[in-house]
Amino acid sequence: MATISIGDYDFKPADRVENYGGDINIYCCWEHHLLIPCPAAYRLPPDIPLIDFLETMFRPDHQHHPDYARLNYHNLIWTLDGKSWQPKLAASLREGGVVHMSYLSFRAPGLDGFNGHGV
Amino acid sequence: MAHRKLTLKEKYQLMTRGLDWETTYQPMDKVFPYDQYEGIKIKNWDKWEDPFRLTMDAYWKYQAEKERKLYAILDSFSQNNGQLNLSDARYLTALKIWMQGITPAEYNSHRGFCMVGRQFRGAGARVACQMQALDELRHAQTQMHAFSQYNKHFGGFHQAMHMRDRAWYLSIPKSYFEDAMTAGPFEFVTAISFSFEYVLTNLLFMPFVSGAAYNGDMATTTFGFSAQSDESRHMTLGLEVVKFILEQHEDNVPIMQRYIDKWFWRGYRLLALVGTMMDYMLPKKVMSWAEAWGIYWEENGMALFHDLERYGIKPPKYHEIATLEKNHITHQAWTVFYTACPATAFHAWLPQPYELDWLSEKYGETFERYYRPRFAQFAELERAGERFYTNRLPLVCQTCQVPVFFTEVNNPMRQSVRQLDWQGMKFNFCSDGCKDIFAHEPEKFCQAYIPPQQIYQGNAGGARNLQEYAAWLKCEFGKDSGEYYTSEDYARWKQWHGGKDTTPSSAAA
Amino acid sequence: MRDKVFIAFQQNEESRPIIEAILQDNPLAVANEQPAMVKIDAPGRLVVRRTTIEEKMGRAFDLQSIHINLISLAGNIDETEDEFILAWHGA
């Protein structure tokens, strides 16, 4: 469907990738860890390796959580944009198929928040 | 010859009809270019009728009386330092959100009705829009007056219009009204008069204003009820507008159904903020969000839609989802407020023991299982001196602009995220309801001003993190924002009470 | 059971005779008192009658002035000088 209007109605998306100076905007969520209640937004270069993203951007947000110390990057169960995803940690986000406005989420088997409460 | 007094119906006819004329220099369709393009067909504008049959003379008379009553009380409130009678200064967070979120929305509603009053070609409809535009302006002004007394003593009341255009949580009501104002006039009245005023404002005004009374806030009770007496007229008009449009042409039915679906869902998402007022910000509790939803939606709202069945109108799409979510959304929203309050103009806190018990009583197993443990964990961090604040910008829904804290209805531990590809770009949503709304008008919603994206693009005064963003909002940590129990508001409140903590210990007054 | 209509007023001296009149004229109506307000629910239909209010007040009353203390309502409205009726017309 299209927006009904009285004249031409053609506008560019406010958050198109050109507005990010070569970077992209992505979202990432550690499921069952609702201490941070919403998936988080990150601006980053698309060529950043997944492991670097996890170590330099994801880690500072989550390292105070007691589950973080037991987090094993190698056995995470990922989804990318709603589909199952098996990324290589050393590969860049772009190589892994992550694009502007992608939504990444993962579960860590056995880690379900404080006392298993999902927090 | 003696003059016979006109009946109400005769007076209404005389004072709302024949005030207009058929234009001759220009065709009517050029003079009124906005009232046909939505596809709504109106055969006879004279069928538009205000069931209250309110005419301008009676309107001025009653409004003047309401204003006299209101200002007598506001004067008395400020002369007697009425702010000292509050149950607890935590209550003020609700007023701050009102001042920052609802009051500017009243003003936008005023602007919207001024526009729509110009766009409709029927004189009766234009008279009704004129009255409502004046009402909405009155609401914005009286609310600012009422809050000005609080602004003398507490943080967060100082820059409502500045914050409205910048704060992430205020983009929610802002985008609701701006979406309506940039639609056609029929969609605007369905959005504001019907969906917002008729279907949803009871949930805002009735329990909350009653709650203001319960918590000793005479100023808010007074403006709230004074405004609500206008709302009941707006609500009535909202229902009449919908019936009028549906009766004019059968082609109008599917268009109206889509408007009703869209604006129910948008309004419901907006009300997630209100629900937290009832469950978390009123120190003395009136009713829970879930109870209010049961009364005002499941009972009264469904009665309304039974009545509209005869026109072929169904209850709004996804209303069952809203009902399934009623035991969850306020606890989830409060978690966001608790963790993100440094980047707002209000304070947040953990519920006190008596409040946890009240929430358990109202929400039973759901609260015990999912939310009480969450607050217990936050409390443990506080005891360890690590009061938790989030430092990261959230994923915000492209349609309703609410940070995506909602969870799947069958799994309260998993955030509900939906996605859509449009013209080679991905867009993210909080729900199927919001995704559907976008899918119908992607050209419109792709333009949305989404605060986290704007910050990352450098459009929030160049802020690079939440601290700089808060400064750009003109919010000072401890004074306007952050934890309540370490705030200036709390320190001042305690000082006024001889240094004692006066946090209530029970939900009853 | 028919769907309920409702009308709510501020709790004050002006509303008191109006509420009394409504409860007298609508035997099935139920008043729910909440802080600072009264909500009256009735199955299907509710009438507010000028003459009954005038009896309670002991003076003439313009029915339109119920606006001043009205908080909210639900139902289709039909208003004349003498009666203010709230009703659902559906099934």
Q: How confident is the model at residue B55 (pLDDT cuts 50, 70, 90)?
A: confident
- Asked if the C-beta of B304 comes within 8 angstroms of chain C's C-beta atoms, the answer is yes
Phi, psi of B462 (to 5 degrees): 75, 10
* Closest alpha carbon to B429 in A39, A95, A58: A39
Are C72 and B202 an interchain contact pair (Cβ–Cβ within 8 Å)?
Answer: yes
Q: How confident is the model at residue B64 (pLDDT cuts 50, 70, 90)?
A: very high
All residues of chain B having their beta carbon less than 8 Å from the beta carbon of residue C77 are: 51-52, 236
Of B51, B53, B286, the CB nearest to C35: B286
Contacting partners of chain C (3+ CB pairs under 8 A): B
CB A34 within 8 A of CB B413: yes
CA dist B462 → A25, A46, B8, B67 (Å) = 17, 22, 59, 44
Is B93 a residue whose pLDDT tops 90?
yes
Give the residue from B54, B202, B242, B287 with the most C CB atoms within 10 Å of its CB, the best one to mutate.
B202
pTM for the predicted model, two decimal places: 0.95
Residue B392: Cβ-neighbour burial (10 angstroms; 0-12, 13-18, 19+): buried
**Chain B: closest CA distance from residue C41 (Å):** 10
pLDDT of residue C1: 61
pLDDT of residue C91: 55
Are C77 and B7 an interchain contact pair (Cβ–Cβ within 8 Å)?
Answer: no
Give pLDDT tens digits for B170-208. Answer: 999 999 999 999 999 999 999 999 999 888 888 877 888
Report DSSP letters for B466-497, one per residue: HHHHHHHTT--BTTTBEEGGGSHHHHHHHHHT
Phi, psi of A26 (to 5 degrees): -130, 170
Mean pLDDT, to the nearest integer, of B303-310? 94
Give pLDDT tens digits for B449-464. Answer: 999 999 999 999 999 8
Are A4 and B443 an interchain contact pair (Cβ–Cβ within 8 Å)?
Answer: no
Q: How confident is the model at residue C4 (pLDDT cuts 50, 70, 90)?
A: very high
Is B360 a residue whose pLDDT tops 80?
yes
Nearest CA in chain A to B331: A37
Are B403 and A117 an interchain contact pair (Cβ–Cβ within 8 Å)?
Answer: no
Q: How confident is the model at residue A115 (pLDDT cuts 50, 70, 90)?
A: confident
CB B296 within 8 A of CB B206: yes
All residues of chain C having their beta carbon less than 8 Å from the beta carbon of residue B309 are: 90-91
Sign of CA dihedral A49, A53, A55, A56: positive
Are C91 and B306 an interchain contact pair (Cβ–Cβ within 8 Å)?
Answer: yes
Cβ under 8 Å to C: B residues 240-299: 243, 286, 299
Report DSSP letters for B361-412, one per residue: HHHHHHIIIIIHHHHHHHHHHHHTT------SPBPB-TTT--BS--EETTEE
Report DSSP letters for B407-430, one per residue: EETTEEEEE--EEEEETTEEEEES
Give pLDDT tens digits for B110-134. Answer: 999 999 999 999 988 998 999 999 9
The helix or strand, by DSSP H or E, that contains position B329, with its residue range, turns out to be helix B329-340
Q: Which residues pair with A25 in a beta bridge?
A: A43
Of A1, A20, A119, the CB nearest to B457: A20
Are C65 and B62 an interchain contact pair (Cβ–Cβ within 8 Å)?
Answer: yes
Question: Measured in whole angstroms, how far is the alpha carbon of residue A66 from the centre of its chain?
Answer: 21
Rg (CA), chain A: 17
CA dist B353 → B90, B381, B388, B503 (Å) = 15, 16, 19, 11
pLDDT of residue B470: 93
Domain boundaries, chain B: 18-336
Are chains B and C in touch, 3+ Cβ pairs below 8 Å? yes
Residue found by looking up tokens 């003439």 in the block: C60
Residue of C20 and A66 predicted with greater confidence: C20
Tokens of C27: 């035997």
Is C3 a residue whose pLDDT tops 80?
yes
CB A41 within 8 A of CB B392: yes
Of B66, B213, B299, the CB nearest to C4: B299
CATH assignment of B18-336? 1.10.620.20
Pick the CATH number of C4-87 from 3.40.50.300, 1.10.8.60, 3.30.110.40, 3.90.56.10: 3.90.56.10
All residues of chain B having their beta carbon less than 8 Å from the beta carbon of residue A13 are: 423, 425, 446-447
pLDDT of residue B16: 82
Give pLDDT tens digits for C66-84. Answer: 989 999 999 999 988 999 9
Cβ under 8 Å to A: B residues 409-428: 412-415, 417, 419, 423, 425-428
- For all residues of chain B together, what is the average pLDDT? 93
CB B474 within 8 A of CB B163: yes
Is B1 a residue whose pLDDT tops 60?
no
Residue of A114 and B489 predicted with greater confidence: B489
pLDDT of residue B13: 85
Mean pLDDT, to the nearest integer, of A10-26? 96
* Closest alpha carbon to B203 in B329, B109, B85: B329
All residues of chain B having their beta carbon less than 8 Å from the beta carbon of residue C90 are: 306-310
- How much of chain B, in percent, has pLDDT values that exceed 70? 99
pLDDT of residue C90: 73
Q: Exposure string (b/e) for B228-264, b if CB count within 10 Å is 16 or more?
A: bbbbbbbbbbbbbbbbbbbebeeebeebbbbbbbbbb
pLDDT of residue A1: 59
Give pLDDT tens digits for B211-247. Answer: 999 999 988 888 888 888 898 889 888 898 999 999 9
Contacting partners of chain B (3+ CB pairs under 8 A): A, C
Nearest CA in chain C to B302: C3
- Asked if the C-beta of B222 comes within 8 angstroms of chain C's C-beta atoms, the answer is no
Give the residue from B391, B426, B438 with the most A CB atoms within 10 Å of its CB, the best one to mutate.
B426
Tokens of A55: 């170590």
Can you tell me the distance from the alpha carbon of B140 to that of B145, in angstroms, rounded to the nearest whole number?
9
Q: How confident is the model at residue A51 (pLDDT cuts 50, 70, 90)?
A: very high
Give pLDDT tens digits for B431-485. Answer: 999 999 999 999 999 999 999 999 999 999 999 888 899 999 999 999 999 999 9
Interface size between B and C, measured as CB pairs under 8 A: 106
Mean pLDDT, to the nearest integer, of B476-505? 94
- Asked if the C-beta of B225 comes within 8 angstroms of chain C's C-beta atoms, the answer is yes
Residue C13: Cβ-neighbour burial (10 angstroms; 0-12, 13-18, 19+): exposed
Pick from B246-255, B481-490, C59-68: least confident: C59-68
All residues of chain B having their beta carbon less than 8 Å from the beta carbon of residue A101 are: 425-428
Tokens of C59: 């003076």
Of C5, C71, C78, the CB nearest to B229: C71
Mean pLDDT, to the nearest integer, of B309-316? 96
What percentage of chain B's residues is helix, strand, coil (to nearest 5)? 65, 5, 30
Residue found by looking up tokens 């993210």 in the block: B428
Rg (CA), chain C: 12
**Chain B: closest CA distance from residue C75 (Å):** 7
Report DSSP letters for B199-249, one per residue: IIHHHHHHHHHHHHHHTT-HHHHHHHHHHHHHHHHHHHHHHHHHHHHHHH-
Q: Exposure string (b/e) for B450-473, b if CB count within 10 Å is 16 or more?
A: bbbbbbbbeebeebeebeebbebb
Q: Exposure string (b/e) for B269-292, b if CB count within 10 Å is 16 or more?
A: bbbbbbbbbbbbbbbbbbbbbbeb
- How much of chain B, in percent, has pLDDT values that exceed 90? 79
Q: Which residues pair with A78 in a beta bridge?
A: A85, A106
Can you tell me the distance from the alpha carbon of B191 to that of B260, in angstroms, rounded to the nearest whole number?
7
Are B229 and C3 an interchain contact pair (Cβ–Cβ within 8 Å)?
Answer: no
Are A101 and B426 an interchain contact pair (Cβ–Cβ within 8 Å)?
Answer: yes
Of C69, C81, C88, the CB nearest to B303: C88
Of C10, C64, C80, the CB nearest to B225: C10
Mean pLDDT, to the nearest integer, of B263-272? 94
Q: Identify residue B393 by its one-letter amino acid code.
A: L
Mean pLDDT, to the nearest integer, of A15-39? 95
Is B498 a residue whose pLDDT tops 90?
yes
CA dist C39 → B70, B143, B296, C33, C35 (Å) = 21, 24, 12, 6, 11
pLDDT of residue B204: 78
Q: How confident is the model at residue B2 (pLDDT cuts 50, 70, 90)?
A: low
Q: How confident is the model at residue B375 (pLDDT cuts 50, 70, 90)?
A: very high
**Chain B: closest CA distance from residue A110 (Å):** 14
Mean pLDDT, to the nearest integer, of B148-166? 93
Domain boundaries, chain C: 4-87
Is B3 a residue whose pLDDT tops 80?
no
Report DSSP letters for B160-172, one per residue: HHHHHTT-TTTHH
ipTM of this complex prediction, to 2 decimal places: 0.97
Give pLDDT tens digits for B9-19. Answer: 888 888 888 87
Helix/strand/coil for B260: helix
Cβ neighbours of C89 (radius 10 Å): 13
Give pLDDT tens digits for B17-39. Answer: 887 889 999 999 999 999 999 99
